[in-house]
């Protein structure tokens, strides 16, 4: 897949300060030691099943299928996991690994708060200290999640620099890691950052596609025709795609946050509007100006509000193995409301971006075909913001 260690084509790498180099080398060595270790894997599987509630359901959305009049629609219900999103998969894996490495403290960045809540949860479970960095803007958009993290015993540090959103939270978590390395593991939340994070996070999230594959074979006796997931950094999408990469007939569709539109400055659609760059430890695609200054991106979804994309997605784009399409705020909100009314499932606004794309392409198929949409998280956290978007002011 890649010629050099930690590379996906030309993307990936380890563009980080020297201070962090031994930490990522130590992490890579530990991961290589434990990833095929039967004891580690049986502990992790037990956590996945007994604690997080895996395997997550693959639900046939019959009403939605009839209404859209094309492919059969299946929903991969990551929203039903403990803590309400796919983030728990990666966090349980990394926390267990960190514990084996003798680390006593987890730090994390968070956008919508889902990864922060998952990390705070794993830290509580495993008796580790936890500090979560969250853009100040996002602490306002997702106040409930801030409270949840504190309730779980974590410290939440609002990040005021830059645009005070996800990218600034990542920068601040990286800075904190350079301050304190010995006892601290940086539990990065997406398939991004320096090697080995994109690989580790993808591997822990790949349980999603592993399950989809088995569940689809059981339900339909064949693989799906398309798998659709939303992409910020891209962890739920990478997890949903990974075990299908070799199955060239399965379309892989990533949905980026277009914000107010890709022809505006208020967008976070990296593949549609970005270009190759080096940031946050990796070479990949980034929204930036002509001098390489990182663009202040925007999306209604705090979880997709990131100016870059994981390096393996950049490579899947280059090789045309996956398609990346922009979905606007308005389209996502419509899909958020649609899935709620049609199936009685309130998706995270992030996942609603994937639902929107499915609503558009379902008609390209017949009922013999099937599409899987990964519902990466549940939408309770978004209700107040969507109400505001529709001009209704409710108090949480």
Q: Which spans of this chain sit near another protein (rule: CB under 8 A)?
A: 13-23, 161-162, 167-168, 171, 174-175, 178-181, 275-281, 283, 286, 288, 290-294
Q: Which residue, 18 or 39, has its beta carbon nearer to another protein? A: 18
Among 109, 176, 211, 343, which one carries the catalytic annotation? 109
Q: Which residue, 2 or 41, has its beta carbon nearer to another protein? A: 2
Shortest spacing between CB 168 and another protein, in angstroms: 7
- Whether 376 is catalytic: yes
Q: Which two tokens stand for residue 172?
A: 């601040």
Residue given tokens 């809540």 in the structure block: 117
B/e letters for 68-93, b = 16+ CB within 10 Å, e = fewer, are bebbbbbbbbbbbbbbbbbbbbbbbb
Shortest spacing between CB 293 and another protein, in angstroms: 4
Q: Which residue, 17 or 69, has its beta carbon nearer to another protein? A: 17
Shortest spacing between CB 6 and another protein, in angstroms: 9
Q: Which residues contact 287 (CB under 8 A, 6 or more apart)?
A: 267, 268, 269, 270, 273, 274, 294, 295, 297, 307, 308
Q: Which residue, 264 or 276, has its beta carbon nearer to another protein? A: 276
| Pairing verdict, β 281-286 and 275-279 | antiparallel
- Whether 39 is catalytic: no
Whether the CB-CB separation of 259 and 287 falls below 8 Å is answered with: no
Q: Which residue, 23 or 302, has its beta carbon nearer to another protein? A: 23
Shortest spacing between CB 157 and another protein, in angstroms: 13
Shortest spacing between CB 136 and another protein, in angstroms: 14
- With vertex at residue 181, the alpha carbon angle to CA 132 and CA 87, rounded to the nearest 5 degrees, is 35
Q: Which residue, 55 or 189, has its beta carbon nearer to another protein? A: 189
Q: Nearest-CA neighbor of 79 among 300, 279, 373, 385?
A: 373
Furthest CA-CA distance within the chain: 56
Among 154, 171, 240, 376, which one carries the catalytic annotation? 376
Q: Which two tokens stand for residue 113?
A: 């708060």
- Whether 340 is catalytic: no
Where helices occur in 1-155 by DSSP H, the ranges are 18-34, 38-46, 62-68, 87-100, 114-126, 136-141, 143-151
Strands laid side by side in the 370-375 sheet: 58-60, 72-77, 370-375, 226-231, 251-259, 322-328
For 289, phi then psi, to 5°, come to: -90, -175
Shortest spacing between CB 114 and another protein, in angstroms: 23
Distance from C-alpha of 175 to C-alpha of 148, rounded to nearest angstrom: 24
Q: What amino acid positions are annotated as catalytic residues?
A: 87, 109, 376
């Amino acid at each position: 897949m890649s010629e050099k260690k930690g590379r996906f084509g030309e993307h990936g790498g380890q563009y980080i300060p020297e201070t962090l180099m031994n930490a990522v080398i130590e992490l890579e060595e530990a991961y290589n030691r434990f990833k095929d270790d039967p004891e580690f894997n049986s502990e992790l599987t037990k956590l996945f099943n007994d604690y997080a509630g895996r395997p997550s359901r693959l639900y046939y959305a019959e009403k939605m299928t009839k209404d859209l009049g094309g492919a059969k629609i299946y929903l991969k219900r990551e929203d039903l996991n403990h803590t309400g999103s796919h983030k728990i998969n990666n966090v349980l894996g990394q926390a267990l690994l960190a514990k084996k490495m003798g680390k006593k403290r987890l730090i994390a960045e968070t956008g919508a708060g889902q990864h922060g809540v998952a990390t705070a949860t794993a830290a509580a479970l495993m008796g580790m200290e936890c500090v979560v960095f969250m853009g100040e803007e996002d602490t306002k958009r997702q106040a409930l999640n801030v409270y949840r993290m504190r309730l779980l015993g974590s410290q939440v540090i609002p990040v005021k620099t830059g645009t005070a959103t996800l990218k600034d939270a990542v920068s601040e978590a990286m800075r904190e890691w350079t301050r304190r390395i010995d006892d601290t593991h940086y539990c990065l939340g997406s398939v991004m950052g320096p090697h080995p994070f994109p690989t580790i996070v993808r591997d822990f999230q790949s349980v999603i596609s592993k399950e989809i594959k088995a569940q689809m074979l059981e339900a339909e006796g064949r693989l799906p025709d398309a798998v659709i997931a939303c992409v910020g950094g891209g962890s739920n999408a990478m997890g949903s795609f990974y075990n299908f990469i070799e199955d060239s007939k399965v379309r892989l569709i990533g949905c980026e946050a277009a914000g107010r539109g890709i022809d505006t400055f208020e967008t976070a659609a990296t593949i549609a509007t970005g270009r190759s760059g080096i940031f946050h430890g990796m070479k990949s695609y980034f929204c930036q100006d002509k001098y390489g200054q990182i663009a202040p991106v925007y999306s209604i979804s705090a979880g997709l509000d990131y100016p870059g994309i994981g390096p393996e997605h950049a490579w899947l784009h280059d090789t045309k193995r996956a398609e990346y399409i922009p979905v606007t705020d308005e389209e996502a909100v419509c899909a958020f409301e649609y899935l709620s009314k049609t199936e009685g499932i309130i998706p995270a606004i992030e996942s609603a971006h994937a639902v929107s794309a499915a609503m558009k392409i379902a008609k390209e198929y017949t009922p013999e075909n099937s599409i899987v949409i990964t519902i990466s998280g549940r939408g309770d956290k978004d209700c107040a913001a969507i109400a505001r978007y529709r001009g209704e002011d409710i108090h949480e």
